[in-house]
Amino acid sequence: MARVVADHREEQSEVPEILRGMGIEVEFKLLEVADYVVADEVAIERKSAHDFVASIYDGRLFRQAADLSSNYEIPVIVVEGDPADIESMLRSEKIYYGALAALLMDSGVRTVFTSGPEGTAVFIERVAIRAQEAGRGGPRVVKRARGGLEQMQLYLVASAPGIGPKLADRLLRRLGSPAAVFSAPEGVLARIIGEKRAKRLREVLYRRYGEAEDSRQARLERIGCRASGSRSCLHRRPAPGRSRTRTRATRGRAPPTPRPRASRSCRASTWTGRTTSPTPPPPGTGPPRSCPSLSSPVPPRSPLSHGAPARTRASW
């Protein structure tokens, strides 16, 4: 029985299960190079159509091809999808065919297109059978060759969110070192990688760990309070613009006593500034009224004023 070693990330795909159904023994391991190792010198990298196109633009495809060719004699990249669809995803035909030419001429990598996971499984099964018949050794797992100091610096900066290998190389060439990149002001970073990426990078570097989750939880609690309409939940915090100290200081005080409201005639007497004697009340109406807020009684009324106090021309 032929044996194939697959990367542990391939457990979620359909290919290993199809291979087992064909009688191929599949063993999962952590592979740093390739997705499937079929023989001692045969390794296969599996890609979907969208991943293939994305890896062309970000340069990941050519780094993976270099790792395959430097560790295995027969490196293969399997792309699941119609080549015509992949060609339509790219901006130009030259990009597509240029990538295929670079894989073959620079790295010696063969590119195979399949219709989907079933086609990929059939291809791997055929290669494993042929390798077994040719007397090649079993699958050989290798580790990725470690780069020097410059490669480690590039990986460190490229691991930041939104920063790929190209932007990491640009940042290091402009600023000199990873420490200078991560300590650069936001304005300097924005001129190199754009305002949005610079803001995100500064947020990741300087926000306190767990603070984002705490603020998110607080927002969810406030949203839940508004949705439930609970008064105890809504009044858990003081109203905006009022401090908690002021709320506690005023708690328990009696409401202010309302001031007595003067009648219209009393207010009119205040305008004129005259001190007069009250108007005699009509028979049977009780004693004369006095203004609650004034020391002087209500001024006399004129028959022509219809209830308003009499005024002189000087008071106008």
pLDDT at 100 over 60: yes
Q: What is the pTM of this model?
A: 0.47
Give 293's pLDDT tier (boundaries 50, 70, 90).
very low
Q: What is the pLDDT of residues 204-249, one digit of tens each?
A: 888 887 765 566 666 666 666 555 555 555 445 544 444 444 444 4
- Considering only CA atoms, which of 259, 270, 260 is closest in space to residue 297? 270
CATH code, 3-133:
3.40.50.10130
Q: Distance between CA 17 and CA 129 in Å, rounded?
A: 17
pLDDT in tens, 212-221: 556 666 666 6
What residue spans define the domains of the chain?
Answer: 3-133, 149-206
Q: Which of 68, 25, 36, 39 is nearest to 134 (CA)?
A: 39
Distances from the Cα of 98 to the Cα of 74, 90, 223, angstroms: 21, 12, 53
Homologous superfamily of domain range 149-206:
5' to 3' exonuclease, C-terminal subdomain (1.10.150.20)
β-sheet bridge partners, residue 78: 46, 112
